[in-house]
Chain A
């Protein structure tokens, strides 16, 4: 009798240890094996049934414990003190790979994202990880080159990344997707290109798409009573797509596009002839919408105002926020779409303040916050999947809704992989960045 009980108990312990130490597939159903402990001797059925009941209670407790343990609190992570961390999380890490473009092409986004990502992960681990599971953040440089991107992504897969974060531009991003081949989720951190997200291959974006930001701008303009628009555009994605989408939405909402002027992104700074065109049609009540970089707007606005038109409303895409709109001198009143807004000690502000306190002030606070969003989404997918199976995590991510992230809430349920997240419209007022609207 004692021997039997001892054997059953030993078997149960072994089963529990096996469940705890199982491979990735086992993690999907962590407590299942223990129920297979059937009694061998009939007269000991009562005792054994009692044993099994005890085991089941224990198992349920474990499942609850694990569910509780696999929880994540963004605020707790952001409030972690890196100089005074709790016990270090241990065990197999949850690995987030970042196929980052650190070159001069995509580095404007991915360098700040890498820095913020590493910092955010250090905060998470400082706060105990994901209920004791450590998070690992692995970065591979794709160098703005699709061929390099394939090799870098393969390295991330080999490193065991459960989720991959992707670079900002579609050509390199597509190479990442091809290499991952729908084997796990790819989350594009800073990309706004509508061609990238596709939930059928587990491709997601962290932020709004160009369609969303341009349409939000058009809606905001109409809501503000503006009925005439001038766009500055250049053929192709982003610099062309945003103004084109803005114009389509603006006219659909009853506005009139009075002029579309072509320019060369990054290159045109002599806007004399462009300003003459604007001066020929503008009466000063227009909104001028563009996706150009902030220094170009400075030159353009100066040229237009020099021709006596000083009351145009200037509105830019999110490029303004990362190209120094707050630094150019003639920025008063300018609007732009952005990924969040730091104020009143919110998460966005706390993450960026933490980076600054560590001597790493982000060159792009919006992108830093998006790093936090992407990592939060990956972790929430892991928690919801209850498993480290990459496909289960990817499937869980596609069903996320209302996840509390760094910039705002974020979700993918029922979307095309573009998140259900608000577009922030910011404005320079009295020399300070202010929140003009939050367009859901």
Chain B
């Protein structure tokens, strides 16, 4: 058959390029670590590594959820303000609980439970509006982003909501304590990432997300309940936001209108740097984890050295994001042309 000739030709190319593509983010991270170490050996000091991992947990957990949303062809801009809103609500609820029944482990568990309910509910609202309401995800989540951000500002009366000190004392270890040498937030990140990976690569749900993001019509004609799967991606995203908030609140014990600002962009950036395609159809949880580590490492390295001002953190991150997407599109463009 005539098709066999281009098939073999492309196969040799592809084998090489595909490896580069999947390994790309990992190589970048290794490079960054080597760079960080050579600039300041403290970079690989035990304290700094733990600190870096803990910091990356917030964005990383949210980004795992975002990987599903983006893979299925959606986008969620509301995660940052959703986190701030949930944090604020948790504090309000826990403070009220302390007032009525005193500070105990149950106060904290109540806060955590409410956080999960709020996250799942907020995710469902985003999903419902995009699928049943047939409004573009960008618009829906731009709207809910504004709503949550202004609600937290309103509840905090423009200032800061602080957790009752008694409750904080009980809650504090969730962020600051460790288990087998790793802080709890890192464990949460690891567990979320592992579950996310299994869900994406070893279940029908993950396959459906990729199919929908790749071509919604094909998915529909293949008996996939497109709306239901899409809605679940937003619910997962909401759940991830609530988990991130649960480990974030004990860190400062407060929430304000400045909480979680630009987290949505950092989460999306982590997903994209990790090799997931923004237009959907191809998702990599492992890449997302590495993406979150890369973003945190950049800030960390800038903190440890004085070659580039720490104020330029955003600029460096921006360059990395654009470069990552450029490389992605470059290899895609070649593929697209060949297919024609």
Q: Do A and B come from one complex?
A: no
Interface residues of B (CB under 8 A from A): none
